[in-house]
Amino acid sequence: MNRIALILTAAAYLLSFGCYMRFLNTGRELIGRLGTLFLALGLVAHYFALLERSRGLHTVPYHDLYGSMSLFGWLLALTYLGLELYHRQRSVGAFVLPFILVFFLAAHLAPADRLPQPDLRGAVFAFHVTLSILAYAAFALSFVLSLIFLGEERLLRKHELGNMVWRLPPLELLERMSQSSVLVGLVSIAIGTALGFVSVDRLMGQYWFYDPKYVVTLFVLLLYALYFRLARTATWRGARASKLCIFNFVVVVLSFTVVNLYLSHSHRYF
């Protein structure tokens, strides 16, 4: 069952990527819709792959690199699909799907290095992990959108339109999409972090103990709140806000890699 779900997921994501690329190239509406359909199918198949794994663990799969990367890919796809439907804009799909595919495929190449933390189970902790990873997925999406914004803005300023610019979303829409994505991330990370404190309280009888991950997460929250505030002011609107968004995501990546692997003892994979 798991193998079938994995093959179906990879096939659906690949087909979706192909359709989105073709849509970007030709602008054919039908191809774009097919891209969305395959993405939705990929999400369903990916969900069953995660479900299979969750049944074995009796919780959300976050105990190993596979689980957290795969969950990240799934939530990235889910956030993107929501954003695409909300803003009715498919041109971004061709840029987001490679990230989803990479995370999904890399999850299967990663070693099954499970963390021995049997105490950290239960709904509150599961929500803490899921919401935190959802926030990172939403931030990743805003990072991709900001990169597209900067690229398109550069082409427009240099008058090098080519075929691409006519197909990409308007600059202001890209900004709005990025802000929507950051808003999803901010809400998720705020609730996720609060639930994390509740979990720690249940486990250790205290809300707080020192972990560099806490500091970095609060810093990330602050940076994105700042972006959200500044991106709506006229002075920062445009390329400056997009650059700030890219910088913020670099901090997220550092938090995900350096902080998780070398500094934090309780947040290895999320």
Partner 1 sequence: MEIVLVGLNHRTAPVEVREKVSFNEEQARRAADELRSRGILEETLVLSTCNRSEVYGVPPESSHECAPGLSSFLSQFHAVRPEMLSGSLYHHYDREAVRHLFRVSAGLDSMLLGEAEILGQVREAYRFAHEQGATGPVLNRMFQGALEVGKRVRTETDLGTRPMSVASAGVKLAERIFGKLEERSVLVLGAGAISEQVVSQLRVRGIANLFLMNRSCDRAEELARQYGGKVVGWGEWDTALRAPDVVVSSVAAEEPILGLEVVERAMAARKNRALFLMDLGMPRNIDASVAKLYNVYVYDMDDLSDIVQQNRQARESEIPRAESIVEAHVGKFLSWQASVELVSLVDELRARVQEERNAFVKARMESMAHLSEPDRLRMESLMDELLEKLLLEPAQKLRGEKELRRKIQNVEALRDLFLSKRDKP
Asked if 166 touches partner 1 (CB under 8 A), the answer is: yes
Asked if 235 touches partner 1 (CB under 8 A), the answer is: yes
- Applying the rule CB under 8 A, the residues between 98 and 157 that interact with partner 1 are 152, 156-157
| Pure H helices in the chain | 2-26, 29-57, 65-87, 93-109, 123-158, 171-204, 212-230, 239-254
3-state DSSP call for residue 131?
Answer: helix
42, 63, 139, 162, 190 from 24: Cα distances, Å: 20, 38, 23, 13, 35
Of 9, 88, 101, 102, the residue nearest 53 (C-alpha): 9
CA distance 244 to 222: 12
Asked if 262 touches partner 1 (CB under 8 A), the answer is: no
Mark the segment that binds partner 1 (CB under 8 A) among 48-56, 57-65, 215-223, 231-239.
Answer: 231-239
Q: How far is the CB of 83 from partner 1 (least distance, A)?
A: 15
3-state DSSP call for residue 181?
Answer: helix
149, 208, 230, 255, 256 from 133: Cα distances, Å: 24, 21, 24, 12, 10
Residue placing its CB nearer to partner 1 in the complex, 64 or 175: 175
Q: How far is the CB of 22 from partner 1 (least distance, A)?
A: 12
Asked if 239 touches partner 1 (CB under 8 A), the answer is: yes
**221: Cα separation from own chain's centroid:** 15
Q: Which of 28, 154, 202, 232 binds partner 1 (CB under 8 A)?
A: 28
Q: Which of 22, 114, 121, 237 binds partner 1 (CB under 8 A)?
A: 237
- Applying the rule CB under 8 A, the residues between 8 and 27 that interact with partner 1 are 26-27
Amino acid of residue 68: S
Asked if 187 touches partner 1 (CB under 8 A), the answer is: no
Q: How many CB atoms lie within 10 A of CB 113?
A: 11
Q: How far is the CB of 131 from partner 1 (least distance, A)?
A: 31
Q: Which of 1, 109, 112, 234 binds partner 1 (CB under 8 A)?
A: 234
Q: Which of 40, 110, 173, 198 binds partner 1 (CB under 8 A)?
A: 173
Q: How far is the CB of 176 from partner 1 (least distance, A)?
A: 9
Residues of this chain that interact with partner 1 (CB under 8 A) are 26-30, 152, 156-157, 159, 161, 163, 165-166, 168-173, 233-235, 237-240
